[in-house]
Structure formats: C-alpha cells, structure tokens
C-alpha cells in the first residue's frame, strides 16, 4: 500500500499540512507590504521561540550557512576560540572557523558524552593571559543524541565578559528550552527543517548587543552573510531582507512558528521530553543499549547501539521500504554501529508508536532475539 513516508530522522522532519498549504500559494513579491507583514510577524514570533529580545536574522541557507555566518561576522583572522566538540557538528564548527583562519582549540569530548562545564572553566582559566575571543558549544549534538548543559556553560561564561558565546541549536531550537538572553548567549543558530516544522532551506541567527559590537570590529570578508545590513533592515517599520528572501519558506515558517506558539512552548518541551523518555524505555525493553547516559540524553533524538550480530543498516532498510518509516543510521565512524530515532518537531505519540512497532518487526526479521510488543508496551505506558 502506498503511504506517505514518516520521517523520524533528525531533519528534515515532517511538515504540518497547514504549513504546506500556506507555501503552495502563488508567489508574492518580496518588496511589498504584504510580504513585509509576514516577515515582521515571523521575525517577532521567532524571538519568542529563542527567548530573546535581540534581533533574530533569517537567512536563505541551511544551518551550516548560519554557522559560517557567525564566524565571519564576529571574528578576525588569527582570533583564538574554544570549540567544545562532542561529535560531528562540533567538529564542523571547528573546521569552519579554521577555514577562516581562526586559531581553534578543539576540546574534543568522547562521542556519546556531554561536555563537563568545568572543563570549559579550566580552559578559560588556563588562558587568562591570552583569553579566547569566543566559545562555541553544540546544544543538541545530533550525531550522538547528546545534549549539553548550555545554561551552566553560560553561567560560567558570564564571568568572562570579553568572551563571545555561540551556540549551535540547529537540531533543538523550538523543541527544547534555550533561554538565549538569560543564559548569556551572543549568537544562537538554527535551521528550519528540524524542530521548527518547516522544509529545509532557512536558517536563523540571534545576535546580541555584544555580538553586534564584535560585528562592527570584525575584519573577516563577508558580503551575503553580513549581519549589519540584515539587522538594520529588521529594525525598519516595514522590515525586509537585504537580498531576495526565500519567500515561500518564510511564509511556511511564519505559519509553523505560529503553530508552535499556539501549542505553547512549555507544552512542546514536555512533549519532546515524553517522546524521548518513551523511546528510551521502549528500546531498553527490547534489550537494546543507549549510546549515551540518561542525564545527557537528548529530548529530540535517541541514539541506540546496534545489537550484536544484527545488520542495523538492513533493519533501517526494511523500516523504510516495507513500513515507510525513515530513521537515521550512524555518522562517520559510528556508521553501522548505531542507529538514531528522531522525535523532533511535528511528531506525536502515534508516530512514535508506529516507529517502535516497525522497529520491532524489522529487528525480528533480521534475526534479533526478542519478544514482539515489549518495546511498544513500554512506550505506550509513558505516552498515555
Ligand atoms: N548542527 C547540528 C547540531 C545539526 O544537527 C545539523 C544538521 N544535521 C547542522 C548543524 C547542519 O545543518 P544543515 O544540515 O542544515 O546545514
């Protein structure tokens, strides 16, 4: 039977029909009052999702573009920064910064673990005489399903006023609580295609006053990414963007962000926490092992070790081809060793139950020794 694929991946994620319908209308011109109203609404509401009073810029790019934008806007060639990398996306931030001639101290944490904020404090203390200009942390490391304590890191960084704090929240903004201003974050970047329930192609970056001061002084070359023009235009009576925006995506994101506010941010955070707990309990009930300790486990994506003797890539294939459900495999050296279930964005308990049921059938088909229904029952009890 032909069915719509259910994406239980860490992006792109499912898009609500209301968002799709809004995007399917005839294009409107971006230098009109009509578009400006929509863009103004999105720009104001996305600030609520970020929990910030500062401007949030909308970029026509994926999340990586926003990561690059933060580097070229805030720094100068040769600046020393600290990246606390806990996986693929922390390493990517370090690579981007290196490409632009920054001196990057990559505090590499074992994959599957979160960073101990005290390690960051130690690094800052050790470098007191030649302090880092910035610290970069991934909030939700999608490659391992680990969440960092950004609040605690932020409270440490408040004692180092000259240091800029940048957070990659590409896979968490809108699904987990990030108090941008309260936690002292200067730039938070995210993408449209994950917890924000919008198709891929848009990115957002919040910019604090301290960050804007750094932008004024930054000498790295930039044109398309320049925050100055973007922020100025956001402040206009009828806001617009410096260049042609991704009009349809902005229209879609506006509807999606309205939906988030309608559901209520606290309710959304709780929904994700519950889905994550149900996923963990389900896989444990099936005798599977989690990649990370529960205290570092992400509310948006769960990483699970592939069971001994079972080809997990084959399991994923069965889920996709036979049951129309896509989950993710491992990245880099974790390929074939782990699999990841995304439960971010437009996901409800029945999506998750369907996923667990399909996982059980697929594991059984590939010879995993288990009793059908145990994972599902564990999940169902939590999702009541
Ligand atoms: N950071 C994190 C934490 C991510 O999950 C991703 C996407 N998987 C990115 C950065 C990169 O975003 P994009 O693929 O949208 O460029």
Residues with CB under 6 A from ligand 1: 10-11, 62-64, 89, 138, 140, 142, 168, 170-171, 191
Q: What number does the ligand 1 atom closest to the CA of 89 have? A: 1
> What is the reported pLDDT for 251?
98
Cα distance between residue 167 and residue 70, in whole Å: 10
Ligand 1 atom having least distance to the Cα of 172: 3
Chain segment 273-310, per-residue pLDDT in tens: 999 999 999 999 999 999 999 999 999 999 999 999 99
**Phi then psi for 201, rounded to 5 degrees?**
130, -10
- Residue-level pLDDT at 1: 76
Global pTM exceeds 0.75: yes
Q: What number is the average pLDDT over the span 219-243? A: 97
Which helix (H) or strand (E) covers residue 44, if one does? Answer: helix 33-50
Give the alpha-carbon dihedral of 205, 221, 228, 36, to 10 degrees. Answer: -70
- CA–CA distances in Å: residue 145 to residues 25, 46, 263, 331: 37, 24, 25, 12
Question: Best of 142, 146, 147 to mutate for ligand 1, by most ligand atoms within 8 A of CB?
Answer: 142
Q: Write the residue with the smallest CA distance to atom 12 of ligand 1.
A: 63
Angle between helices 209-217 and 63-74 (to 10 degrees): 70
Exposed/middle/buried for 123, CB within 10 Å: 0-12, 13-18, 19+?
A: middle
- Tell me which of 13, 59, 63 to substitute to probe ligand 1's pocket, judged by most ligand atoms within 8 Å of the beta carbon: 63
User: Considering the chain, what percentage of its residues have pLDDT values greater than 70?
Assistant: 100
Contact predicate 205/43, CB 8 Å: no
pLDDT exceeds cutoff 90 at 105: yes
Q: Say how many Å lie between the CA of residue 63 and the centre of ligand 1.
A: 5
For the stretch 25-65, pLDDT in tens is: 999 999 999 999 999 999 999 999 999 999 999 999 999 99
Report the distance separating Cα 242 and Cα 230, nearest Å: 6
Average pLDDT value for residue range 102-126: 98
Place of tokens 């989690």: 290
In tens, the pLDDT along 334-351 reads 999 999 999 999 999 999
pLDDT at 211: 98
Token output for 12: 């792109």
- Residue having the nearest C-alpha atom to atom 13 of ligand 1: 63
pLDDT digits over 165-195, tens only? 999 999 999 999 999 999 999 999 999 999 9
Averaged pLDDT, 21-28: 98
What mean pLDDT, rounded, does the chain reach? 98
- pLDDT tens digit sequence for 347-359: 999 999 999 999 9
| CB 302, CB 9: distance < 8 Å | no
Per-residue confidence (pLDDT) for residue 2, from 0 to 100: 79
pLDDT of 3 over the 80 cut: yes
Q: Which of 317-347 are b and which e, b meaning 16 or more Cβ less than 10 Å from the residue's Cβ?
A: ebbbeebbbbbbbbbeebeeebbbbbbbbbb
Q: Can you tell me the distance from the alpha carbon of 204 to that of 70, in angstroms, rounded to the nearest whole number? A: 11
Considering only CA atoms, give the Rg of the chain. Answer: 21
Distance 193 CA to ligand 1 centre (A): 9
User: What does the DSSP 8-state code read for residue 148?
Assistant: -
The residue assigned the tokens 């898009």 is 15
Query: 264 CA distance to ligand 1 centroid (A)?
Result: 25
* Residue to mutate, 83, 97, 171, 176, ligand 1, most ligand atoms under 8 Å from C-beta: 171
Angle between helices 247-263 and 265-285 in degrees, nearest 10: 80
132 phi/psi in degrees, rounded to 5: -60, 145
Classify 166 as helix, strand or coil.
Answer: strand
pLDDT at 259: 98
Band (pLDDT 50/70/90 cuts) for residue 264 is: very high
């Amino acid at each position: 039977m032909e069915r719509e694929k259910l994406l239980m991946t860490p992006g792109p994620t499912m898009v609500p029909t209301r968002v799709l319908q809004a995007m399917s209308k005839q294009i409107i011109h971006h230098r009109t009052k009509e578009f400006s109203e929509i863009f103004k609404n999105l720009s104001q509401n996305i600030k609520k999702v970020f929990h910030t009073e500062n401007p949030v810029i909308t970029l026509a790019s994926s999340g990586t573009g926003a990561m690059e934008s933060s580097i070229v806007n805030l720094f100068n060639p040769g600046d020393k920064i600290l990246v606390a990398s806990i996986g693929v996306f922390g390493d990517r931030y370090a690579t981007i910064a290196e490409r632009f001639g920054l001196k990057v101290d990559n505090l590499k944490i074992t994959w599957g673990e979160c960073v101990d904020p005290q390690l960051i404090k130690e690094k800052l203390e050790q470098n007191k005489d030649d302090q880092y200009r910035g610290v970069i942390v991934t909030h939700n490391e999608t490659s391992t399903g680990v969440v960092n304590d950004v609040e605690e890191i932020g409270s440490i960084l408040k004692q180092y006023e000259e240091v800029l704090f940048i957070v990659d929240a590409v896979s968490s903004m809108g699904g987990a609580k990030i108090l941008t201003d309260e936690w002292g974050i200067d730039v938070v970047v995210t993408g449209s295609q994950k917890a924000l329930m919008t198709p891929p192609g848009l990115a957002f970056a919040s910019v604090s006053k301290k960050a804007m001061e750094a932008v004024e002084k930054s000498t790295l070359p930039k044109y398309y990414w320049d925050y100055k023009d973007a922020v100025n235009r956001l402040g206009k009576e009828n806001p617009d963007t410096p260049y042609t925006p991704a009009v349809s995506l902005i229209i879609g994101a506006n509807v999606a962000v309205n939906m988030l506010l309608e559901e209520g941010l606290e309710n959304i955070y709780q929904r994700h926490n519950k889905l994550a707990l149900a996923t963990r309990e389900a896989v444990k009930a099936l005798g599977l092992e989690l990649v990370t300790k529960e205290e570092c486990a992400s509310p948006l994506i769960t990483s699970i070790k592939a069971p001994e003797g079972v080809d997990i890539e084959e399991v994923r294939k069965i889920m996709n081809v036979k049951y129309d459900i896509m989950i993710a495999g491992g990245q880099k050296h974790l390929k074939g060793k782990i699999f990841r279930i995304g439960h971010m964005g437009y996901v409800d308990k029945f999506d998750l139950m369907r996923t667990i049921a399909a996982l059980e059938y697929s594991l059984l088909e590939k010879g995993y020794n288990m009793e059908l229904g145990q994972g599902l029952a564990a999940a169902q009890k939590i999702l009541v």
